[in-house]
Amino acid sequence: MKKIVVLTACALFFGFSSLRADEGMWMLPWLQKLNIKAMKAKGLKLSAQDIYNLNGNSLKDAVVLFGGGCTGEIVSANGLLLTNHHCGYGAIQRLSSVEHDYLQNGYWAMNRSEELPAAGMSVTFIRKIEDVSDRIFPYLSEEMSEEQRQKIIQERIRTIVSEALPEESTCEAMVREFFDGNQYLLFVTEKYPDIRFVGAPPSSIGKFGGDTDNWMWPRHTGDFSVFRVYADAQGRPAAYSPDNVPYQAPVHLTISLKGVKPGDYTMIIGFPGSTERYQTSYEIEQTYRVENPVRILVRGERQDKMMEDMLADPKIRLQYANKFAGSSNYWKNSIGMNRGIEKLNVLAGKRALEARFTEWVNADAARRAEYGEVLPTIEQIVRERTPGDRHLQYLNEALGRGVELIGLAAPWNDWIVQGADSVWKGPDESKLADLRRSAAGKYKDYSPSTDRKVTKRMVAILFDSLSVDERPAFLNEERERFGGDIDRMVDDWFDRSVFASQERYERMLEKPDYAALRNDPALCFYRSLQQLLKLPEAEKQRLKERSLRLTRAKRLFLKGLMEMQPEKTFYPDANLTMRLTYGQVLPYRPADGVIYDYYTTLSGVMAKEDPKNPYEFTVPDRLKELYRNRDFGPYAEAGDVRVNFLSNNDITGGNSGSPVMNARGELIGLAFDGNWEAMSGDIAFEPDLQRTIVVDIRYVLFIMDKFAGASHLLDEMTLVQ
């Protein structure tokens, strides 16, 4: 029997090993024209109109932009919403306290009155997508300067937006650029700002594996959280009010309990954030040699300091949980991207394409006239800008992101008038009253001791990495004043600054002292940084002209690529607008002699528990109990609960929380990650390796029902076998 099982598994893998990932993040209105035939061939049972219907309800009406950079899906008629745990992470952290730590312990509202307002959170529905290129391009000509072109484009966009909606509409309109300015689309959206937190598992489930497992397969993470959309009594968007009612969704996703197997059709609708698949080798090389190394160095050092304090103090762990997660995600992404650029010969592939493009251009006089200077222009501009970009990258990562003290002081700079006869122009009494009320919130997630420790390391990195002229003058002067002793220098700042202590800050608010503020080291640091970044008007104009030249060159390069490859169906780079990607459930082969299966199980969760690393690999006692008793309910398959599975859909950041649907449009999982071997996918798609990591919807339901006892939420959903 054992031999038969092994042979069957091998046969399954090799039967699908020739299938490759399906490249493309497609616009929904053009599925019928561009994609539906291929989607049907892979198994889709729906029509294009079932997915996107301009004049009626369709699947797209159940998918929302969650917050500012994730995706969510409506799963009940009463506005219940699923997204990833890491997408709800910030909202959950803001609602938490040391006494009520919903990140650490989880939370479940057992009735509507226990659903917690998630201040600052919103969801956005897409009501309409329309190509408006023909309302812009007739006003343009290639004889125009790029500055004239951009001015007319913005004028046309303002007109289109102003005409898009009736005055009484609760919707908003925006026009976005696609294909580097070769297409323009109008989006009509509707934003709902009253979002309530319904529930989430503890981080030991929702973030199981932490940074060690991030971007990795095999994965065992229950990456989900639950919210609800609220509206006024008429169903319209409204700010939070206790009188608001659950949003009555015209469409919600049906949930399948059937599970998946290799080759099953998968479809994802979501809001991918950013790809740059049409970048040149020159731009990719700058990312590889400058941007990513700086990010990796600075964030890695900052995170080490943060983690030391987070592990030592539960209060600091809660304060810095979201900051650490936001930093570490793209720190590890940058490491993986550079690894992928090397291992997958991305630069060589791009250079080969550029050589073909140059040959195609040179074969025709008209093409030489239009496209002959495109690649040389991009190469020259990238070479010119690289030193400045490196400089700004260090300042942004080490100071903008790294030193919180500067950010705390920054808003006060506008009220300081400098000079020998300076006068206090501070906030009026009304504004001071607002600042007093917000002081506690301002410092809720701030640890002065942690920021002090991080600042010492960030300043040391700047001294090691930047020249004297590249550093804020304040840093150079202070270093000389303290004889090069960075630790003593930073200690002096934190000991003296009113912004480094909530108590000192609140005392200052009671009686603002201009002289003290003007000489506060945090404000001095901020002013010095702003002075360093301030450019002469001539330099600003030069950079503006360079930017316009690059804009034109990139637009023409992509226009030329599409002209050179008329047989290829192009899709636009991701830009946080709604897209669809289709594919199949598939395992993969990451390296010679290594085969990764397409799913993981609860047994794997138990095997991964690591008492030596409790921050990332702790298994809750209740989950162990359910496992021991095999109390899996209707969510098991072959005697175990499947946790995560793989598909070959084309996703990126912003797709986190996206619904993964089967051939009938039923929800089978939530997309939450990509795989390590294809981390360069945002700039060069890897068809043999690209995978989406998905939390199986049955694991979501199992945790909600059996682990949390929140079966009342499942009662709202439409579940099908």
Instruction: Quote the CA–CA distance of 225 and 695 in Å, as a whole number.
Output: 12
Question: Tell me, what amino acid is at 162?
Answer: S
φ, ψ (nearest 5 deg) of residue 408: -65, -35
Instruction: Quote the CA–CA distance of 642 and 276 in Å, as a whole number.
Output: 34
Three-state DSSP class for residue 484: coil
> What are 140's two structure tokens?
């343009």
Asked whether 248 and 77 are in contact (CB, 8 A), the reply is yes
> What are 538's two structure tokens?
């001539």
**Residue among 518, 454, 448, 456 nearest 489 (CA):** 456
**Residue among 61, 70, 174, 188 nearest 122 (CA):** 70
Alpha helices in 396-519 (DSSP H): 404-409, 429-443, 448-465, 473-481, 486-496, 502-510, 514-518
Instruction: Quote the CA–CA distance of 275 and 577 in Å, as a whole number.
Output: 12
**Residue among 100, 99, 104, 70 nearest 227 (CA):** 70
Beta strand segments in 93-206, E: 107-108, 116-117, 123-131, 172-178, 183-192, 194-200
DSSP state of 331: H
C-alpha pair distances (Å), 387 with each of 2, 237, 677: 61, 47, 30
What is the number of other CB atoms lying within 10 angstroms of the CB of residue 720? 11
| H or E segment and range at residue 328 | helix 314-343
C-alpha pair distances (Å), 478 with each of 68, 273, 487, 497: 39, 41, 12, 15
Asked whether 295 and 330 are in contact (CB, 8 A), the reply is yes
How many residues are listed for the chain in this entry? 721
Instruction: Quote the CA–CA distance of 410 and 412 in Å, as a whole number.
Output: 5
Half-sphere exposure at residue 456, Cβ-oriented, CA atoms within 13 angstroms: 18
φ, ψ (nearest 5 deg) of residue 576: 65, 30
Instruction: Quote the CA–CA distance of 3 and 418 in Å, as a whole number.
Output: 82
Three-state DSSP class for residue 188: strand
Asked whether 696 and 221 are in contact (CB, 8 A), the reply is no
Q: How far is CA 629 from the centre of its chain?
A: 38
To which residue do tokens 């959170």 refer?
121
CB neighbour burial string for 224-251, b if at least 16 within 10 angstroms, e if fewer: bbbbbbbbbeebebbeeeeebbbbebee
> What are 311's two structure tokens?
């592990």
Cite the active site residues.
86, 223, 656
User: In the beta sheet, which residues pair with residue 416?
Assistant: 424
> What are 284's two structure tokens?
């990719």
Conformation bin of residue 104: beta by default, left when phi > 0, alpha when psi is -120 to 50: alpha
| H or E segment and range at residue 647 | strand 642-647
Asked whether 233 and 265 are in contact (CB, 8 A), the reply is no
DSSP state of 468: G
Instruction: Quote the CA–CA distance of 675 and 671 in Å, as a whole number.
Output: 12
> What are 157's two structure tokens?
């966009």
Instruction: Quote the CA–CA distance of 653 and 644 in Å, as a whole number.
Output: 18
Three-state DSSP class for residue 397: helix
Expressed in angstroms, the distance from the first to the final Cα of the chain is 29
